[in-house]
Amino acid sequence: MSVMTSVLVLAQAQPAQPAKIEAPPIGAIWPILIVLGAACLSVLFEALLPRHLRWPAQVALALLTLAAAAVKLVTYVSDAPAAGETAMFGTLAVDRPTLFLWGTLLALTLGAVLLIADRSVEPGGAFVASAAIRPGTVQDRAQVASTGMQTEVFPLTLFALGGMMTFCAANDLLTMFVALEVLSLPLYLMCGLARRRRLLSQESAVKYFLLGAFASAFFLYGVALLYGYAGSVRLSDIAASAAGSDRSDTLLFAGMGLLVVGLLFKASVGPFHTWTPDVYQGAPTPVTAFMAACTKVAAFGGILRVLQVAFGSTQWEWRGVLWGVAIVSMLIGAVLGLTQTDVKRMIAYSSVAHAGFLLIGAIALTDKGLSGTLFYLLTYGFTTLAAFGVISLVRDSSGEATHLSQWAGLAKRSPLVAGVFTFLLLALAGIPLTSGFVGKFVVFQAAVASGMAPLVVIALIASAVAAFFYLRVIVLMYFSEPAADGPSVTVPGAFTTAAITLGVIVTLLLGVAPAFALDWAGSGVFAIH
Amino acid sequence: MTPTYYLLLSALLFTIGAVGVLVRRNAIVVFMCVELMLNAVNLSLVTFARINGSLNGQIMAFFVMVVAAAEVVVGLAIIMSIFRTRRTASVDDSNLLKY
Amino acid sequence: MTGTINLAAAEVQQASGVANAAWLLLVLPAFGAVVLLLGGRRTDKWGHLLGIATVVAAFVYGLILFFSTTSLDAAARTRDLHLFDWIPVNSLNVEFGLRLDPLSLTFVLLITGVGSLIHIYSVGYMSDDRDRRRFFAYLNLFVAAMLLLVLGNGFVTLYFGWEGVGLASYLLIGWYQGKDFAATAAKKAFLMNRVGDVGLALAIFLMFKNMGSTQYDVVFAQIGHQSTGVIVSIGILLLLGACGKSGQFPLQAWLPDAMAGPTPVSALIHAATMVTAGVYLIARSSPLYSLAQAADARLVVMIIGAITLVLGCVIGCAYDDFKKVLAYSTVSQIGYMIVAVGLGPAGYALGILHLLTHGFFKAGLFLGAGSVMHGMNDEGDIRRLGGLAKKMPITFVTWTLGYLALIGFPFLSGYFSKDAIIEAALAEGGTRGWVFGGIALLGAGLTAFYMTRLLILVFLGKPRWENLKSADGRAYHPHESGPTMTVPMIILAIGSVAAGGILSGMLPEWLEPAVGKLQEEHGPLSATVVSILTVVISAIGAGIAFALFGRGEQPVARPERVSFPVRAARADLYGNHLNEALFARPGVWLTRFLVFVDNRGVDGLVNGIAAGLGGSSGRLRRLQTGFVRSYALSMLGGSILVIAALLMVRFA
Amino acid sequence: MTNPTSVSSAGSWLLAALLLLPLLGAVVVVALRGNDGTAKAAALGFSVVEFVLGLVAWFRFEPSGARLQQSFSFDWIPSFGVHISFAVDGIALVMIAVIGLLVPLVIGAGWADKLPEGRSKGGFFALILLEQALTVGVFAATDVFLFYVLFEIMLIPMYFLIGSYGGQRRQYAAVKFFLYSFLGGLIMLASVIGCYVMAGNELGKGTFDWATLVQVVHDAPLSTQIWLFFGFFIAFAVKAPLVPLHTWLPDATAEAPIGVAVLLVGILDKVGTFGFLRYLLPMFPDASRKLAPLVLVLAVAGIIYGAMLATGQRDMKRFLAYVSIAHFGFIALGIFAFSSQSLTGSVTYMVNHSIATGMLILVVGMVIARGGSTRVADYGGMAKLTPVLAALFLIAGLSSLSLPGTSSFVSEFLVLVGSFPNAPVYTIIGTVGMIFAALYVLWLYQRVMQGPLRGNALVGAAGGPGTMVDPEVGAKRAIGDLSGREKLVLAPLVLLIVGLGIFPKPVLDIVTPAVNATMCQAALVDPVQAVQSGERQLQCR
């Protein structure tokens, strides 16, 4: 509940007459409250429930929470003010983009929770029975065979989700910082919880944590400098100061630079992506799915808001720099993806390239750019989620078989899985009739409309390069002979099936009939108060 | 003595922290360097609060401390688990994931 | 000069009456070809009869058409039969129609007449070939295409027939397709023809560009209004086409090789009809060549004709292959015709006259050669023949008549047609007249020389074959051919004797509506003098031949130690070497080079980019060292860059 | 005369059926793939019905009617002004008819092919039917977005057709094909977006409707037009393919199964030249005029280069690819020579090339099926063993070298005669290409069909040297001439080659109005006006 308190304290500092404080209107932020409340409840479950009840209880709680939050969200949307409103004394802005992002996050988390909860693909689930067990020991080998799992992953997921939702609604930088930590810290932990290959899992946790903390420091220093510049951390105040302040612009731009670096890190935009491949590879696959889909959504939600609300008026100074960043990110993702031999790492580099595409939409700074980026996030999230879901199915005796050579001839073993994965890869490549194409299209369209045609051409070339590594997997699956002792495809249980199906259906639906989602994404802009 | 010196000191501390992250091998020390960076920011915040004549900056510094504390909890847990496994806290030993 | 021509062009009537069925001329032989080709082995038994029947029917219809035309006024003899719009696109309308006028009807009779004879001859000649049916199909195909060539009422229909006869020629030259040399000769013929066709095609394009049509009536009506450049260009491009088809310099090399085909083919296609299509083309385009502005084009035509004339004679003197000597003879005789039509109004009719007489005697000569080879195990080396006159009397007599006609023995066909050309060339006047007349006279002498050599070595002298065996090991048993072969030879021999005399009087007048009035000009020498001179020179040539070859034994093996001119002539005056050196070899090298460029250069670039990306990817991924501190470093570096850039943009 | 933008929706059910039937067919055939026999029969049935539908559409098309006929349209993505709208003009119609013709033949030709292990006939034919549906869509789409979508989608079945059913290096070829086309397509996407944004600026709301975009874009400033032109051009030039963007084609053709090679060269590649006509000329008339010399250089370079490389190939299928490259040079020449004759010639060239080269590929496939090798050096003297095959080979070859009397002549003649007034030098070089055409066709015919028996398979079938049997008789027994099925596959092509060579008017009548409308849209005027009368004159409303 730290967010709540922080918000209250900060709010008290702002008004001139503290006596007039009223109870904050919370109708708009029920979804956040539900998620965070459920997270706390979930912690209590861990503490109080007997071990064998925890898993069912946690799963039920998580699913119920998501459902309740979604219901609240939907009921709120139906009569929400079109221009959006602020809540919690202006620290949270609940406007159309926020609502869209919340909806996206809730839906993606549903998929992620389903993957996390699955206990059929890997008997007992993808998570270690007890995080305290040292890898390589007798206990470790025992826990691999056991069916228990560390159910703390559920509260951690809910906390992270709460942080993400707050992050994209945050209307001032301090709230944003706190939300950033709330979403990050659980993820650091979740990365280290894999049942198998624990060394890799722990390593990824350490790397993610150290780099994440490092990036947070940058972010925070940026906040400080901007505070120094504007005298406030509220986004609208910064925008107002940027329009006419007598302070040195050095503070503004240095602060902005540091802030943006922190955000870009979270969004795994190159060259701040270095954690991405290692962490994606090392983390348990359901967590990778959650991280890849939801963190990206939240981070870009924050980036969009910061750039549009706080720095819209200075865009001519910084836009060129972010052009460069976008190009670097696309090229790094596309080129380094070419030679990857691990499926998860490959998708990681793909996500770096996608981050570059998303950044193009984010720096378009138009309504079209906003709605396009939002739509892209939606499409990308579901596709990635499903892709990692499929990756978790291809296994051999030592767990997931993520090395590409093990995927050779998969289509002969399991045409369905190969077909689904092919479809998802094509979506990632941006082939028409998949959501990936529509997403790219709307983003690039917005970019061209705001005069970034050269950037779009580079992006398209990068897409073509990236298409190669997606194709390589398809070639391996379809046109190569399977290895004699290759991996088998596990028949997934209901949870994983549901998650993959969700992702695939959304990918297809948004590719074939994207109109309704485009309308949602374009239904409103950021509230500036 | 103008507040600018505090800002410079803060920048210096931040830089020292950043360089520390780059040059130190021990995970704990690296993590302490990150803490140093956060505290450098705190100094900035307080200084700016002073310059701006509002309390917000100081309040924010408290927030940062709380967050840093939370980070320590998580961070030490992670570092601990890897130390137990590898019997070393050197971050350079964790490089199975690469290329 | 132009007035009469344009008049002729303007007075195109619509065909009516019997002429309405002129499409039968095309359809009959084509029908035969289609039935024989699709019918397969089922038609083996009667296929050749169908082939003959269709061509004879076409001949009969041609005769009826001819006589119905002669009954018309001279002015009404030029008629068009519109069949359908072939390629209509906006301003371009290529009609599929027939032009029925004295010129085309003359050719119709020649083609179907000689064609019928050769069909009949082939029944005997090809009796041993199990694919005889297909042979007749091809011959029919040829007749149909050749008729289209001469009957078409526009340059595109002419082009259709032009390439169609090329195809038939290709198929028939390559008849013995199991043999590489036949296949190669066929390919060579087609290719060299294509070179000429490009000229014809470009001429057509020029016509469309400048006159908006490719039909004879429009083009000939408009041609007078065009600039000299256009007229000369079209004239020379048409000539290029004629060179290809008629084996004229510099595209003469394919014709001797074409003798790889069966002998009836050589007679029909490569002597009597197809190779004279170039002459037809130029005569057909007389409204163009007759223009005063086209004088340069005419000169080029004459030069080409004259060069070819001499070239053919010279090489003909050196060859030892029966058919190839005849082939070079054809080349040189067509040279005469080209010279004639190059003379313009003074020569069109003479060229056509020589074409017709040549059609008779050269076809007869080839059939005779075929008869000899048929009886001699397909032996074509004249050094291995000799003394066949007694064994093959009919062949000998008919052949000799053809021979006499060719060398211009007085009052036989060649005498009328060739003398007239020589005379007209001399009448051109001035140096030009002397040069071309002189060359033509020289050619007459050479012709007499090599033809006499042929006669002696084949029919007279000692039978050198008696102690030899043919390549497949059989002994030679020369015998006279059967009636299907001898009858056509006899008929052609009669033609060789009489055609010149009959035609020389009537033809110019008959052709007037098509090629204009024959303008008889009188040169420095009178007609009688020219005739006497020609006969004398021919006699000298024949005499030398008798002197050299008529006495004493001729070696069976070819003497290798010979003087340079003979060596050069044996090597086709280095025509093939030239082609080889100028086109074939550089072409091969260029192709190899381009294949290399395509694989290594163009595709190499593509694969290189791919490899470069892959390589840089492989190298860059090494930067992802796995050390968290290096990641932090890259982040820090990136941050510094971003901030520096931001500040630079702001403050620069 | 025709109003370039007029639309008539009469008979739209036909077009809808043309689009959906192969799709349905693909689904049915996949469902039946367990049983090869039924699946094959179903595939053939669907493709034949599709062909009949195509014929009906042809006869219901009114050449003098609206530019776009049989149209239908409904909203797809309203917020972006994207519609699912289809219609045909004369150019699209003839291409759709060709697709309808080729697919049953390809299915017939592939009837007895041996597929790689583990692949089913049903899957193969289903992919072909899917490809058919998509290509019909590409030609019929009148919404630029829809066109782009189908343009990219149609790569995927082809990718699998090459990659799953192809030869030794199929992976390389499939990926190369896909990436080449995909990159081209993506660059086109940039231009599509550019046009859309322009329309948005101009009209207040963006649209992808082709006719509207033509109106909006074709007045754009030259520099803008040039950029947009290049985006489309590169995509189409890759697909067509023009030199130097051609190197995917030899690999793809060489590795693809024969039937797929037919579809690739006969249909898929035509999308490129179709795009020249449908998109480049009307939408960017100024840029087209400005850049015509560039395209013409590439075109004639392709004619000569393709022809020379064809003669230098050792592999018959690669040979076919280079032959096609030369032919595409002619098509591009005609399109960018800007006369109604040359444009009509190019369109008919597209049709005739599909027929003639399609036949040549099928025939070569039959040769390969008998000799078991794609190398030219492994053949010789086959005409003796398989005279019918040799005859059909020759017919296809002659059509390929545009002998008069074959349909290709009509188109090549139109291209050249129409190009000459505007682009004489290029036309002359192109005409010289005719010689090369003769060279490579006859070279291949000689090597494969004529001369003595050569090659291990043939000589081996003859019993090898030193056997007592007459070698030819032996080989004849082992290597049969065409079967009835094979003859049936080739017969329609021969009929069309000859029929349209003698009487091309039915095609010309349908194509010319569409070409005239294109000329009007591009503000082009025929260089040669009619001499006889004004009625054939091109008039724009």
> Which of B16, B82, B95 would best serve as a mutation to test chain C binding (most C beta carbons within 10 A)?
B95
Helical residues (DSSP H) of A363-452, grouped into ranges: 367-391, 410-413, 415-429, 435-449
Q: Which residue has the higher pLDDT, D179 or A485?
A: D179
Average pLDDT of C556-580? 79
> Which of D413, D415, D502, D533 would best serve as a mutation to test chain C binding (most C beta carbons within 10 A)?
D413
What is residue D408's predicted lDDT score, i.e. its pLDDT? Answer: 93
State the Cα–Cα distance between residues D278 and D144, nearest whole angstrom: 10
Q: Which of A264, A45, A286, A101 has the alpha carbon at shortest distance from A187? A: A286
pLDDT band at D4 (very low <50, low <70, confident <90, very high): very low
Taking CB atoms and an 8 Å limit, are A199 and B96 in contact across chains?
A: yes
- Whether D125 is covered by a domain: the verdict is yes
- pLDDT of A495 > 60? The answer is yes
Q: Which of C258, C273, C272 has the alpha carbon at shortest distance from C192? A: C258
Q: What is the pLDDT of residues C5-63, one digit of tens each?
A: 444 444 677 877 788 888 999 999 999 999 999 988 888 888 899 999 999 999 999 99
Range scoring the smallest mean pLDDT among C144-148, C196-200, D530-534: D530-534
Percent above pLDDT 90 for chain D: 68
Average pLDDT of D66-89? 90
Range scoring the smallest mean pLDDT among A5-14, A274-283, B39-48: A5-14
What is residue D336's predicted lDDT score, i.e. its pLDDT? Answer: 95
* Contacts A211 to C, Cβ<8 Å: 628, 631-632, 635
Q: Does A404 touch chain B (CB under 8 A)?
A: no
State the Cα–Cα distance between residues A100 and A438, nearest whole angstrom: 17
Residue D184, CA atoms < 13 Å, CB-side half-sphere = 26
Range scoring the smallest mean pLDDT among A121-130, A432-441, D35-44, D464-473: D464-473
Q: Does C45 touch chain D (CB under 8 A)?
A: no
- Whether D5 is covered by a domain: the verdict is no
Taking CB atoms and an 8 Å limit, are D450 and C88 in contact across chains?
A: no
Q: What CA dihedral angle connects C425, C427, C428 and C430, to 10 degrees?
A: 120
- For chain A, the average pLDDT equals 89
- For chain D, the average pLDDT equals 89
- pLDDT of D225 > 80? The answer is yes
Taking CB atoms and an 8 Å limit, are D312 and C202 in contact across chains?
A: no
Chain A partners (3+ C-beta pairs within 8 A): B, C, D
Average pLDDT of D510-537? 78
Q: What is the pLDDT of residues A158-182, one digit of tens each?
A: 999 999 999 999 999 999 999 999 9
Phi, psi dihedrals of residue A365, rounded to the nearest 5°: 55, 30
What is residue A20's predicted lDDT score, i.e. its pLDDT? Answer: 59
Chain CA centroid to CA D244, Å: 19
- In A136-175, the residues whose Cβ lies within 8 Å of chain B are 136, 174
Average pLDDT per consecutive 10 residues, chain B (99 residues; last block may be shorter):
86 94 91 94 93 89 94 91 85 84
The domain total for chain D is: 1
Percent above pLDDT 70 for chain C: 98
> Residue A489: which H helix or E strand, with range?
strand A488-489
- For chain C, the average pLDDT equals 88
Q: What is the pLDDT of residues A71-121, one digit of tens each?
A: 999 999 888 888 888 888 888 999 999 999 999 999 999 999 999 999 888
Q: Which residues pair with A94 in a beta bridge?
A: A85
- pLDDT of A10 > 80? The answer is no
Count of Cβ atoms closer than 10 Å to residue C526 Cβ = 11
Q: What is the pLDDT of residues A86-96, one digit of tens each?
A: 888 888 999 99
Average pLDDT of C183-210? 93
Establish, for the pair of chains A and C, how many residue pairs have beta carbons separated by less than 8 Å.
88
Q: What is the pLDDT of residues D28-45, one digit of tens each?
A: 999 988 888 899 999 999
Q: Which residues pair with C88 in a beta bridge?
A: C93
What is residue B73's predicted lDDT score, i.e. its pLDDT? Answer: 92
What is residue A222's predicted lDDT score, i.e. its pLDDT? Answer: 95
**3-class SS at C379?**
coil
Average pLDDT of D356-364? 94
Average pLDDT of A348-368? 94
pLDDT band at A19 (very low <50, low <70, confident <90, very high): low
What is residue D116's predicted lDDT score, i.e. its pLDDT? Answer: 76
Taking CB atoms and an 8 Å limit, are C208 and D528 in contact across chains?
A: yes
State the Cα–Cα distance between residues A228 and A251, nearest whole angstrom: 7
Predicted TM-score (pTM) of the model is: 0.92
Q: Does B22 touch chain A (CB under 8 A)?
A: no
- In B9-68, the residues whose Cβ lies within 8 Å of chain C are 18, 21-23, 25, 30
Taking CB atoms and an 8 Å limit, are C624 and B99 in contact across chains?
A: yes
Count of Cβ atoms closer than 10 Å to residue C393 Cβ = 13
State the Cα–Cα distance between residues D227 and D190, nearest whole angstrom: 10
Q: Which residue has the higher pLDDT, C435 or C1?
A: C435
Instruction: Show me where the domains of chain A are located.
Output: 2-15+24-521
What tokens does C430 get?
């001035």
C626, C629, C633 ranked by CB distance to B98: nearest: C626
End-to-end distance of chain C based on CA atoms, in angstroms? 84
What is residue D472's predicted lDDT score, i.e. its pLDDT? Answer: 60
Average pLDDT of D323-338? 94
Taking CB atoms and an 8 Å limit, are A336 and C617 in contact across chains?
A: yes
State the Cα–Cα distance between residues C644 and C641, nearest whole angstrom: 5
Q: What is the pLDDT of residues D472-489, one digit of tens each?
A: 666 666 678 888 899 999
Instruction: Show me where the domains of chain C are located.
Output: 299-570, 577-651
Q: What is the pLDDT of residues A318-352, one digit of tens each?
A: 999 999 999 999 999 999 999 999 999 999 999 99
Average pLDDT of D122-151? 94
Q: Which residues pair with C93 in a beta bridge?
A: C88
Average pLDDT of C205-228? 90
What is residue C144's predicted lDDT score, i.e. its pLDDT? Answer: 94
D79, D159, D190 ranked by CB distance to A515: nearest: D79
Scored b (16 or more CB within 10 A) or e, A273-294 reads: bbbbbbbbbbbbbbbbbbbbbb
* Contacts D164 to A, Cβ<8 Å: 478-479
Chain D partners (3+ C-beta pairs within 8 A): A, C
- pLDDT of A6 > 50? The answer is no
Chain B partners (3+ C-beta pairs within 8 A): A, C
Strands A394-396 and A399-400 come out as antiparallel
Q: Which residue of A has its CA nearest to D176?
A: A468
What is residue C250's predicted lDDT score, i.e. its pLDDT? Answer: 86
Q: Which residue has the higher pLDDT, A24 or D210?
A: D210
Average pLDDT of D240-255? 91
What is residue C8's predicted lDDT score, i.e. its pLDDT? Answer: 43
Q: Does D227 touch chain A (CB under 8 A)?
A: yes
Q: What is the pLDDT of residues C297-309, one digit of tens each?
A: 999 999 999 999 9
What tokens does C66 get?
């001819």
Q: Do chains D and B touch (3 or more CB pairs under 8 A)?
A: no
- pLDDT of A4 > 70? The answer is no
Q: Which residues have C-beta within 8 Å of that of residue C496, sequence separation ≥ 6?
A: C357, C360, C361, C364, C401, C402, C404, C405, C412, C413, C414
> Which of B51, B74, B95 would best serve as a mutation to test chain A binding (most A beta carbons within 10 A)?
B74
What is residue D541's predicted lDDT score, i.e. its pLDDT? Answer: 54
- How far C605 CA sits from the closest chain A CA (Å)? 15
State the Cα–Cα distance between residues D354 and D331, nearest whole angstrom: 12
Q: What is the pLDDT of residues D398-421, one digit of tens each?
A: 999 999 999 999 999 999 999 999
Establish, for the pair of chains C and D, how many residue pairs have beta carbons separated by less than 8 Å.
174
State the Cα–Cα distance between residues D65 and D71, nearest whole angstrom: 13
* D294, D332 contact by CB (below 8 A): no
Q: What is the pLDDT of residues A245-270, one digit of tens each?
A: 777 888 899 999 999 999 999 999 98
Count of Cβ atoms closer than 10 Å to residue C602 Cβ = 18
Range scoring the smallest mean pLDDT among C328-332, C521-525, D194-198, D324-328: C521-525
Supply the range of the domain harboring residue D421. 12-536
Q: What is the pLDDT of residues C376-429, one digit of tens each?
A: 888 888 888 888 888 888 899 999 999 999 988 888 888 888 888 888 888 887
What is residue D530's predicted lDDT score, i.e. its pLDDT? Answer: 59
- For chain B, the average pLDDT equals 90
- pLDDT of D534 > 80? The answer is no
